[in-house]
Chain A
């Protein structure tokens, strides 16, 4: 009894410790955003200081936050929807109608994530230039969808594998065609999985910086570009950068907080049978 309580206490302490460790950089960023530039670089670091909103005011004055935020929302949602549109049929086919090469196809898809993006920057840039989609939201939607496709397919494949094939078979026995089997049986059964995949894809899209920095200038630039514009080679900028980062991550943090139950449920879906 006593030892199980001790284990519980240890687990709680470890859990809180890990959570605080992960949360500390975000906490420090928020704290720094309310400091003056001099206080932001003070050594030893200051926990107590006179808070100021001057960094937020300057960030707001120098850049149109709403324009960048709207781009982030449209591009992340668009990229996620496009990736799901391709990944759901692909994962369905691979989970329920596998062939001898399904496993290796899946592994190959995942291996494309190992290629450093900078390796294909120039070809992609030239393609975008020729198609006239540099600095467009549609261009980024396509690249984000392609970027996340392997992970989305893998996750959906894993979730679909958890759905008992017998249920689909029973549906087929009752005369369901592929379309209605898909819409009326598989999708309702894997909603938690699809939702958590979509959430993860949204977060990955929201935080993506390499392609958004390289393929946009101003029209389609999302919040990652907005943050990058406050890093400076000469001059103090930590407070302003923290303010820009805080308002850039705030929406996705709130979104993650609200949907955490769905996210955790989806990620542990099928973990225990």
Chain B
């Protein structure tokens, strides 16, 4: 072969390798986009059982980091590109996307699925006009974690239902910066799902809310000022250095490594902190409900990761089959058999909490259930509000808005006065809401 012909042959082979190949059509290939966390990894691992039971379905997994996944899915679904057959999305997205007509409803669920076993607040969070548009894989609320040994050493007992003021007092007593023990760890990383997931229920507990009944932003009110002052002074005086870069994982690492005295965050951390493989303080973790403030009974924290099917999916039937399998009671039993009850996806089904086996290995189980049942995402704040959502505002603009305000509030940890930060946040929110055409 002459050199030029050889070159042409190599190039042709290369182009052929780059071109998409034809796929076998006998099987329905279902592409699942999911987030990379422990429960989802277990689902991916156990999905081979589903494929064995359903040889006509082949699963393809796309596992991504949460923010990347959200951006990827939003681009795909809003352009109706139909790259995915199953989406892992939160209870923030489900009602908004369902309203847009982007998701397929889950009608006529079989009796064996026992939809009423799903905890009511979780079910409500993923419904639109009384129809389910996703099925929950796991759900969480928030809790207070503390180090029993540090409190004992300081001669303090954690109240059964602590208030934010009490938490600050305890944090002050157990902080010992010389031994890198920080009394209070909280999310400081800016973002609507990062620091604002904590600051929003904190403001609610101090009597605040994002918008009044006429959609006028309420961020420069005394309630927000008090809440953010508590947050900012608490973290600056008793928190770890560089708190503005700490999200869930960073705080988990700090607490699991013995550097935090108190940590208020998602209830899903309980299973990780009690796991001796992941936590150096597994035998010294105490827990209490999320603290309360001057206003009680308002919305607190409810997040669920759910499996939904985009309306554009060409594999509706196969996708539905998988979603029903992965969110069923049988799946929870399968995880319990394979990895033990402590590893089952929590927060979704009453039957999980009724299981004596689960109660035995998860001492925090009833706490988590109680926290989810009392999360009240649809409840009123001290003054009436025109939106729902516990630690977020269930409007499409909140992703951008929450992150912008989150950045301003994070700046109070590095020296910006609270008053000034809230004034900036208020005017930015007013501008965004005006541009978005509120009140609608």
- Residues on A lying within 8 angstroms of B by beta carbon are 37-38, 41-43, 62-63, 74-75, 77-78, 81, 121-122, 125-126, 129, 133-138, 141, 213-214, 217-221, 225, 228-238
Whether B18 contacts A126 by the Cβ 8 Å rule is no
A122 in contact with B60 given A74-B14, A234-B266 (CB within 8 Å): no
Q: A235, B272: Cβ atoms under 8 Å?
A: yes
Q: In the complex the two chains form, is B65's CB within 8 Å of A136's CB?
A: no
Taking CB atoms, residues of chain A closer than 8 Å to B38 are 232, 234-235
Shortest C-beta distance, A47 to chain B (Å), equals 17
Q: How far is the CB of A248 from chain B (nearest CB, A)?
A: 15
Does any Cβ of A come within 8 Å of B249's Cβ?
Answer: yes
Q: B36 touching A237 by the CB < 8 A rule?
A: yes
Inter-subunit contact B248/A134 (CB<8 Å): no
How far apart are B247's CB and chain A's nearest CB, in angstroms? 8
Interface readout for B21-46 with A: 1 if CB under 8 Å, 0 if not?
00000000001010111100100110
B268 interface residue (CB < 8 Å to A): yes
Chain B residues positioned under 8 Å from A43 (CB to CB): 180, 257, 259
> Contacting A217 at CB < 8 Å: which of B15, B62, B247?
B62
Q: Chain B residues with Cβ under 8 A from A234's Cβ? A: 37-38, 248-249, 252, 266, 268-269, 272
A142 nearest CB across to chain B (Å): 10
24 contacts between A and B (CB under 8 A): A37-B277, A37-B278, A38-B278, A38-B279, A81-B11, A122-B75, A126-B79, A136-B18, A136-B19, A137-B17, A138-B19, A138-B20, A141-B18, A213-B64, A213-B72, A218-B62, A228-B65, A229-B36, A229-B64, A233-B35, A233-B66, A233-B248, A234-B249, A234-B266
User: Does B61 sit within 8 A of A, measured CB to CB?
Assistant: yes
* In the complex, chain B residues 360-390 whose Cβ is within 8 Å of any chain A Cβ: none
Is A218 within 8 A of B60, CB to CB?
yes
Decide: B81 and A129 in contact? CB cutoff 8 A.
Answer: yes
Q: Are A121 and B75 CB-contacts (below 8 A) given A137-B19, A228-B64, A234-B248?
A: yes
> B315: CB under 8 A from chain A?
no
B218 contacts partner chain A, Cβ-Cβ < 8 Å? no
Contact pick for B31, options A218, A228, A233, CB 8 Å: A218
Distance (Å) between the CB of B279 and the closest chain A CB?
A: 8
B120 CB-CB contact with A under 8 Å = no
Contacts of A220 in B (CB 8 A): 20
The 6 closest A-B pairs by CB, nearest first: A233-B66, A41-B253, A229-B63, A231-B65, A137-B18, A234-B37
Task: Identify which of A213, A217, A238 gathers the most chain B CB atoms within 10 Å of its CB.
Answer: A217
**Number of A-B residue pairs with CB-CB distance less than 8 Å in the complex they form:** 124
A38-B256, A41-B256, A41-B257 as given contacts; A232 in contact with B249, CB under 8 Å: yes
Given A214-B75, A217-B83, A136 contacting B20 (CB threshold 8 A): yes
Centre residue among B76, B81, B84 by max chain A CB count within 10 A: B81
A38 to B65, CA, bound (A): 21
Q: Who on chain B is nearest to A138 by CB?
A: B18
Q: Which residues of chain B are near A121, meaning CB under 8 Å?
A: 75
Q: Measured between alpha carbons, how far is A129 from B278 in the docked complex, in Å?
A: 43
- Cα-based distance from A124 to B248 in the complex (angstroms): 34
Residue of A nearest to B252 (CB): A236
Q: Which of B14, B63, B259 has the most CB of A within 10 A?
A: B63
Q: Are A214's CB and B72's CB within 8 A? A: yes
Interface centre among B11, B17, B257, B269 (most CB of A within 10 A): B17
A42-B257, A141-B18, A228-B65 known; A122+B79 contact, CB < 8 A: yes
Q: CB within 8 A of B36: which of A41, A133, A214, A230? A: A230
Closest CB of chain A to B323's CB: distance in Å? 18
- Complex contacts, B20 vs chain A, CB 8 Å: 133, 136-138, 219-220
Is A232 a contact of B278 with CB atoms below 8 Å?
A: no
A78 and B18 contacting across the interface, CB-CB below 8 Å: yes
Residue on B nearest A70 in the bound complex, by CB: B17
Nearest B residue to A79 by beta-carbon distance? B18
B68 at the interface (CB under 8 A from A): yes
Distance to closest chain B CB from A108 (angstroms):
28
Q: Name the distance in Å between B114's Cβ and chain A's nearest Cβ.
A: 27
CB distance from A125 to the nearest CB of B (A): 6
Nearest CB of A to B269, in Å: 8
Listed residue (A41, A122, A135, A237) with the most chain B CB atoms within 10 angstroms of its CB:
A41
User: With a CB–CB cut-off of 8 A, which chain B residues contact A81?
Assistant: 11, 14
Q: Kindly list chain B residues whose C-beta atoms are within 8 Å of the C-beta of A134.
A: 81, 83
Which residue from chain A places its CB closest to the CB of B276 in the assembled complex? A38
Least distance between B381 CB and chain A CB atoms (Å): 27
Given contacts A43-B180, A78-B14, contact A231 B84 (CB under 8 A): no
Q: Is the CB of A125 within 8 A of B31?
A: no
**Shortest beta-carbon distance from B312 to chain A in Å:** 11
Q: B266 — nearest CB in chain A belongs to which residue? A: A234
Least CB distance from B81 to A in Å reads: 4
A38 to B257, CA, bound (A): 8
